[in-house]
C-alpha cells in the first residue's frame, strides 16, 4: 500500500468516525425529537434548505426585507440547519493555523447544562459537548440559560450564563472560566455575580467592550417572573471580567405595543460611533416574539428606539425570531445569530423546536439592515 493510499484510508476512517460521533452525540443532546421535516437526516445533523426573502409590509411600522436567513453552519456547497433545539445562541469565533472555527453556545438541553456546537473548518461537521458540566454548589439543576463568552487579555475565556439560585429561587447571572472554547468552564463562585432579588433576578447576560477597552455586561431583570417591569441594564465588568463594578444603569424598557410589556436578550455592537442595541420582546413561545433595536451614544445609554415596531419578525419559515447575538466571520462581515421556531410548529407543546439561523447585518445611513 502506497503512502498516498494509506493517507486516503486514514482520512476516510476519520470522516466516518466524525459522522458516527455526530449521530450519537446529537441524538443524546436534543430536548425534543427532530421535526419530521428533518427526517432524512440524523438527529442533530444537517439538512439542506434555505429561506426565501420576506416581503416588507407597508405603514409606519413596516419591517425591512430580511433576505435569506441562512442557517448558522454550512458545508462546502449548501446551506444547512442544525436539526435540534438550540435556543439563545451565542457565537465565538477563533482563529488558528488551519483557519476560523465557530463555537456556538446555547441554553440547556435535556442532557447538557450548556451545549456548545463547533463547526471545524476541515471536516465541516458538527460536534456537541457540554461546556459547563458542573454547576456551582449555590445553583440548582435546570434553567441554565442564555450563555455568552468574552475573551480576556490573558487569552482565557469567561462564560456568562443564567442559572437558578437555590436560596431565593430566582434566576441569577454567574460566570465560569476556561482555557478552551469547548470548556470545561469552571465556576468557582460562592454566590451569584448579578442577582437583584427586588427586581425579580437577572437573566440574559451579554458582554460589550467599549472603544476604550472598557467591558460592560448587558442583562435583563427578570421582572416578568413576579409582576415587576422588565428593563435592560448595563454594568461595568471588573478588570478580570469575573465580577461587576459599581451600580447597574437601566438603558431600555418596554414602552411599545408590540413588546407586550417585556424586553429581554440584549446584544450590542458599535458602528460609526453609535451603539446599536438589539433585543427581543413579547412572548418567547409565540410567533409574536420578535427583535427590535435601539441606538445609544455609549454602552450605558441612554438608548432610544427609532422604530415603532420590530426590526425582524416572523416569516412563514422562521417564526418568533429572538435571542439575537452578533459576531464577525473571518472576513469581518457582521452577522447575527438567532433562534426561531422552524417548520411551522411554534412551542414545545406543539412539537416545535427553536432552530439556529444567521443573517447578515449592514448599516445604511445610520440604520441596521438585515441582509
Return the pLDDT at 260.
96
Q: Read off the pLDDT of residues 228-247 as tens digits, 9 standing for 90 and up.
A: 999 999 999 999 999 999 99
d(CA 54, CA 321): 13
Query: What average pLDDT is seen over the chain?
Result: 79
Of 95, 99, 136, 131, residue with least CA distance to 113: 131
DSSP state of 348: G
d(CA 90, CA 338): 8
The x, y and z cell numbers of residue 158, run together, are 469567561
> Residues for the chain: how many in total?
371
Strand partners, 84: none
Q: Does 119 score more than 80 pLDDT?
A: no
Return the pLDDT at 362.
92
Pair 234, 252: CB distance under 8 Å: no
The x, y and z cell numbers of residue 30, run together, are 436534543
Pair 209, 221: CB distance under 8 Å: no
Q: Read off the pLDDT of residues 58-72 as tens digits, 9 standing for 90 and up.
A: 333 333 333 334 444
Query: CB within 8 A of 212, min separation 6: which ones?
Result: none
Would the CA dihedral through 65, 71, 77, 83 be positive or negative? negative
Q: Does 17 score more than 60 pLDDT?
A: no
Q: pLDDT class for 57, splitting at 50, 70, 90?
A: very low
The larger pLDDT score, comparing residue 23 to residue 112, is at 112
The larger pLDDT score, comparing residue 256 to residue 111, is at 256
Q: Does 287 score more than 80 pLDDT?
A: yes
**Element at 170 (helix H, strand E):** none
Pair 242, 253: CB distance under 8 Å: no
Lowest mean pLDDT among 265-269, 357-361, 363-367: 357-361
d(CA 273, CA 248): 22
Q: Does 209 score more than 90 pLDDT?
A: yes
The larger pLDDT score, comparing residue 105 to residue 371, is at 105
Q: pLDDT class for 357, splitting at 50, 70, 90?
A: confident
Q: pLDDT class for 208, splitting at 50, 70, 90?
A: very high
The separation between the first and the last C-alpha atoms of the chain, rounded to the nearest angstrom, is 51
Q: What is the DSSP string of 36-87?
A: GGGTTS-TTSEEE---PPPPP--STTPPPP----EES---SSS-EEE-S---
The x, y and z cell numbers of residue 240, run together, are 478580570
Average pLDDT, stretch 43-58? Answer: 38
Of 186, 189, 193, 198, residue with least CA distance to 162: 193
DSSP state of 312: B
Q: Read off the pLDDT of residues 304-339 as tens digits, 9 standing for 90 and up.
A: 999 999 999 887 778 899 999 999 877 788 988 888
Pair 329, 336: CB distance under 8 Å: no
Q: Read off the pLDDT of residues 136-193 as tens digits, 9 standing for 90 and up.
A: 999 999 889 999 999 999 999 999 999 999 999 999 999 999 999 999 999 999 999 9
Q: What proportion of the chain, given as a percentage, has pLDDT over 70? A: 74
Q: Does 100 score more than 90 pLDDT?
A: no
Amino acid at each position: 500500500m502506497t503512502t498516498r493510499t494509506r493517507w486516503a484510508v486514514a482520512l476516510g476512517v476519520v470522516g466516518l468516525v466524525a459522522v458516527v460521533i455526530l449521530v450519537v452525540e446529537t441524538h443524546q443532546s436534543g430536548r425534543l425529537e427532530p421535526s419530521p421535516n428533518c427526517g432524512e437526516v440524523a438527529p442533530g445533523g444537517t439538512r439542506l434548505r434555505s429561506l426565501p426573502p420576506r416581503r416588507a409590509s407597508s405603514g409606519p411600522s413596516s419591517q425591512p426585507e430580511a433576505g435569506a436567513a441562512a442557517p448558522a453552519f454550512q458545508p462546502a456547497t449548501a446551506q444547512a440547519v442544525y436539526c435540534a433545539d438550540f435556543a439563545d445562541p451565542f457565537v465565538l469565533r477563533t482563529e488558528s493555523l488551519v483557519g476560523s472555527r465557530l463555537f456556538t453556545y446555547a441554553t440547556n438541553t435535556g442532557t447538557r447544562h450548556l451545549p456548545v456546537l463547533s463547526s471545524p473548518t476541515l471536516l465541516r461537521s458538527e460536534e456537541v459537548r457540554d461546556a459547563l458540566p458542573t454547576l456551582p454548589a449555590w445553583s440548582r439543576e435546570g434553567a441554565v440559560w442564555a450563555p455568552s463568552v468574552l475573551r480576556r487579555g490573558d487569552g482565557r475565556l469567561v462564560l456568562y450564563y443564567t442559572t437558578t439560585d437555590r436560596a431565593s429561587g430566582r434566576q441569577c447571572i454567574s460566570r465560569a472560566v476556561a482555557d478552551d472554547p469547548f470548556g470545561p468552564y469552571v465556576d468557582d463562585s460562592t454566590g451569584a455575580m448579578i442577582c437583584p432579588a427586588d427586581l425579580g433576578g437577572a437573566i440574559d447576560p451579554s458582554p460589550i467592550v467599549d472603544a476604550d477597552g472598557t467591558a460592560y455586561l448587558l442583562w435583563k431583570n427578570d421582572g416578568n417572573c413576579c409582576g415587576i417591569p422588565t428593563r435592560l441594564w448595563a454594568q461595568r465588568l471588573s478588570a478580570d471580567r469575573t465580577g461587576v463594578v459599581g451600580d447597574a444603569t437601566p438603558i431600555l424598557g418596554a414602552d411599545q405595543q408590540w413588546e407586550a410589556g417585556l424586553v429581554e436578550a440584549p446584544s450590542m455592537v458599535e458602528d460609526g460611533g453609535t451603539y446599536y442595541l438589539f433585543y427581543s420582546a413579547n412572548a418567547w413561545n409565540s410567533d409574536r416574539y420578535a427583535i427590535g433595536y435601539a441606538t445609544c451614544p455609549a454602552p450605558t445609554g441612554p438608548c432610544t428606539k427609532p422604530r415603532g415596531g420590530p426590526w425582524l419578525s416572523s416569516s412563514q419559515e422562521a417564526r418568533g425570531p429572538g435571542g439575537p447575538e452578533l459576531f464577525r466571520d473571518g472576513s469581518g462581515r457582521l452577522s447575527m445569530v438567532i433562534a426561531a421556531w422552524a417548520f411551522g410548529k411554534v412551542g414545545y407543546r406543539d412539537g416545535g423546536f427553536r432552530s439556529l439561523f444567521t443573517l447578515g447585518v449592514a448599516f445604511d445611513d445610520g440604520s441596521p439592515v438585515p441582509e
